[in-house]
Structure 1
């Protein structure tokens, strides 16, 4: 079975092979179904239906009728043999959406009668597609199939006539938002498949190019349901890749692979981690054709996109993914120079700033300075008059970097952040750029929440106001990821709010975090899930209502959940932050052994952070924090009367200080010391573990 299938019925030497049920291993079936055009999926189902019907001694017509007939209508024993295929067909059709999803629902209802149970396949799972019904008596809310077809032909013609001009196509899309759903997707694929099978190759290629151009337009269309728009784009690209193969049109094939990568990177439906893996795979396929030597411009563009995917990647080690992103951006910049490609040079500089801003390895303060420098380089090309949208986007990113900046005066950095966000909002209006406006409002809220100057209580009110403005655009249904991020941030503002009742504020904070966690799951968004779990732990730690001990237990659970992701290997900085919250809580409660475990975890995270530090100043800062951790660890050992462990920890701390002294690059032997001794000392310093 090549490792793709697994048995779901017991198998022994007496088992009849004809009645052993198999299923794909988790995730494989969904991946295969999503990657195959609907016409081919239906063709496979028809072929399998013929085989099963023949095997059961039924005509295809009778077999299909039995699939749709409740089991109570017959007692000849065939249901048990038909049921596995009915279940499989329902799962496949359910993923195709539209009328197929409704047929799948009927199949599953019939299966309920066979099983005599209320359990069914979850029709509301994230990756299942649903669509309003197609009505042959059209109404404004329920267009007919002819309405969809007419709209499809109209929008493709507009794409041709305008040469893909958004100013022409987007008003047409805006006037037909009620048709941008999964029914439209089905009709696009069916219409294209029919045309491709009956037209000459040249005409087929011409139509396919128009569909590809339209797919890129709908991918970037800012209105309507973003999730549906992305599915239509993906379906369009997948449809035309059957026309432009690597063998026949390698350059066009590579372009489609790159565009598919962009669509999967921004996809809302499906598992986020898997979508990003698909994006990376598509970019790498494109790069198998786009070489720097033969296609330098396209190669650089795809390297830039690959950097974006690695920057957002969930699977794999976060620190390594960011290093790969930086490497990809730097490769792109070897072609995208300011003199030859100023716009794209600025675009990649902006992206490089994002990667440095989030970088885990090396010195955090230095990384933020590198991010600011990259944004400022981008702004040397992106001016408000020439590139207002890109200028606003980079101002927003610069604001984030100043907000997180470690060097220079903290209060001044936050003022600069607020100023940058307000500049961005001079272009990003709610009417013209609602999504970007909401994103910047969210960021402005973070800056006000942390602001040092002016009145603290008023700043927190301004933060709450900004978050609530963002949520007027970010709804859970249309923008689940951004909605969850803003809910998390709103929780932070309520957590520290000064005005109003403190107990109410903490309840509002907990409610906001719990809302965020309905989207920020460990499987889909492990890093964000851990951040919100840490925040939820803080809220429960300070909660006024409810039983105090129960609240503290909830806080400990939340911190421990966060540490499942915030490990010292994956992210020592976040590990240190969360373990600090946990160990302080254990210490105050007198849970000495669990406090000791948390302190030891913190020391391990500090050790790894130090190994990544690039300069002596940062290493000294880490040592200063480590001393405080060692002191608490010693106290905890003393409290449980483990004096030997306390003394051992003191000696260990002294050893660390000695090692730090030896690794100080500014200290060298005095007097007339041979150069080979100094060289050997440098070598030994590099090899000293911490």
Structure 2
């Protein structure tokens, strides 16, 4: 690129730093004083300072908090609690730039993570922050996608050390789902091994509890499992890694029927993805795979009717028609 082109990063002086710190302190003070009505109390201040909710704010937060969290423990504890409250508020504040919001969240979580390593804190707080960081790095816009996914996987694996299946079942289901998604998107390593890891996390979680235990989590896991299957076979034309066929067989009918009762549209999408998977699958008995595809498309059409969802109905009809044409 020639000289004089490109975007220069804005330089900030000490005056800017003080202005940003002043805003940060105001936000944290309001959060500490109004714990029960945070959105109403904080959002007006954020709306009046949208120009400061940027990447430099993330730098200021990290620099300022490192000092404050190393001082008097009681005051540091209150500061850390307010920072986490602020980060949670940002998740639903749609007016701030998404990329900057993620950078602010990463900065806040990472600096508080160091503080909560103290034996004074519950390990679940540490695990919750690892979970938040994992999600931030999965969604991160800045930086290299490959590196961000590795950081996400590392954070989520650390979370699993605390959020175990027996002691924290719902958190365990969440992190297993997130690991499945992260491995399915992973760039480093062998693709087939990453997909095998993704399918392992999804299916292990789906088989861990009775199907009526955590319907929301199991529904999300089911949807993501079938989506990965569909993408690998139908969209990319890849064969599944050896040994994963049995994982699909363990995706049982009774689980699907349970999801159908709770969330029929999500269930119908699962049927559609399974139809796409079997239609494109050349592993095993091809004739049986095509019959399975036709069967799952027919089930999806029970929900995606011409009257209620004409576009979805037309797409599934077309896919089912192609399966009939290929029928052996």
Structure 2 residue aligned with 1:326, among 195, 199, 222? Answer: 199
How many Å apart are 1:287 and its aligned residue?
Answer: 1.9
Structure 1 residues 153 and 331: CA distance shift in structure 2, 3 A? farther
What CA distance in whole angstroms lies between the structure 1 residues aligned with 2:204 and 2:40?
A: 34
Q: Contact 1:261–1:279 at 8 Å: present in 2 too?
A: yes
Partner of 2:185: 312
Structure 1 residue aligned with 2:102, among 230, 233, 239? Answer: 230
What CA distance in whole angstroms lies between the structure 1 residues aligned with 2:109 and 2:129?
A: 6
What CA distance in whole angstroms lies between the structure 2 residues aligned with 1:168 and 1:371?
A: 48
Cα deviation, 1:149-184, whole Å, max 9, x if unaligned, reads 343234334544245866765665455432220121
Structure 1 residues 349 and 450: CA distance shift in structure 2, 3 A? closer
RMSD: 4.6
The number of aligned residues is: 292
How many Å apart are 1:402 and its aligned residue?
Answer: 7.8
Partner of 1:381: 262
What CA distance in whole angstroms lies between the structure 2 residues aligned with 1:175 and 1:376?
A: 50
Matches within 5 A, 1:397-546: 401=273, 404=276, 406=279, 407-408=293-294
Larger radius of gyration: 1
Q: TM-score, normalised by structure 1?
A: 0.35
How many Å apart are 1:205 and its aligned residue?
Answer: 2.1
Q: Which runs of 5+ in 2 are unaligned?
A: 233-238, 280-292, 320-325
Q: Is 1:361 aligned with 2:246?
A: no
Cα deviation, 1:642-678, whole Å, max 9, x if unaligned, reads xxxxxxxxxxxxxxxxxxxxxxxxxxxxxxxxxxxxx
Matches within 5 A, 1:40-55: none
Structure 2 residue aligned with 1:155, among 27, 31, 35? Answer: 27
How many Å apart are 1:273 and its aligned residue?
Answer: 1.4
What CA distance in whole angstroms lies between the structure 2 residues aligned with 1:285 and 1:415?
A: 42
How many Å apart are 1:315 and its aligned residue?
Answer: 2.0
What CA distance in whole angstroms lies between the structure 1 residues aligned with 2:131 and 2:267?
A: 27
How many Å apart are 1:264 and its aligned residue?
Answer: 0.6
Q: SS of 1:292's equivalent?
A: coil
Cα deviation, 1:211-230, whole Å, max 9, x if unaligned, reads 12332443564443211111
Q: TM-score, normalised by structure 2?
A: 0.67
Q: Which runs of 5+ in 1 are unaligned?
A: 1-117, 137-143, 384-390, 424-443, 454-620, 625-690
Structure 1 residues 153 and 284: CA distance shift in structure 2, 3 A? same
How many Å apart are 1:260 and its aligned residue?
Answer: 0.9
Q: Is 1:192 aligned with 2:73?
A: no
Q: Is 1:340 aligned with 2:219?
A: no
Partner of 1:244: 116
Structure 2 residue aligned with 1:289, among 138, 146, 162? Answer: 162
What CA distance in whole angstroms lies between the structure 1 residues aligned with 2:92 and 2:153?
A: 19
Q: Contact 1:257–1:286 at 8 Å: present in 2 too?
A: yes
Larger RCO (alpha carbons 8 Å, 6+ apart): 2
Q: Is 1:276 aligned with 2:157?
A: no
How many Å apart are 1:237 and its aligned residue?
Answer: 0.9
What CA distance in whole angstroms lies between the structure 1 residues aligned with 2:167 and 2:296?
A: 48
What CA distance in whole angstroms lies between the structure 1 residues aligned with 2:165 and 2:86?
A: 28
Partner of 2:53: 180
Q: Contact 2:173–2:217 at 8 Å: present in 1 too?
A: no
How many Å apart are 1:328 and its aligned residue?
Answer: 1.3
What CA distance in whole angstroms lies between the structure 2 residues aligned with 1:321 and 1:202?
A: 44
Matches within 5 A, 1:5-44: none
Cα deviation, 1:372-402, whole Å, max 9, x if unaligned, reads 997775453348xxxxxxx7xx489559738
How many Å apart are 1:281 and its aligned residue?
Answer: 0.9
Structure 1 residues 408 and 351: CA distance shift in structure 2, 3 A? same
Partner of 2:236: none
Q: Is 1:214 aligned with 2:86?
A: yes
Partner of 1:255: 128
Structure 1 residues 336 and 251: CA distance shift in structure 2, 3 A? same
Q: Contact 1:297–1:335 at 8 Å: present in 2 too?
A: no
Q: SS of 2:162's equivalent?
A: coil
What CA distance in whole angstroms lies between the structure 1 residues aligned with 2:257 and 2:9?
A: 45
Structure 1 residues 339 and 396: CA distance shift in structure 2, 3 A? closer
Q: SS of 2:188's equivalent?
A: coil
How many Å apart are 1:413 and its aligned residue?
Answer: 9.2
Structure 1 residues 372 and 342: CA distance shift in structure 2, 3 A? closer
Q: Contact 2:173–2:205 at 8 Å: present in 1 too?
A: yes
What CA distance in whole angstroms lies between the structure 2 residues aligned with 1:310 and 1:266?
A: 14
What CA distance in whole angstroms lies between the structure 2 residues aligned with 1:339 and 1:450?
A: 29
Cα deviation, 1:57-80, whole Å, max 9, x if unaligned, reads xxxxxxxxxxxxxxxxxxxxxxxx
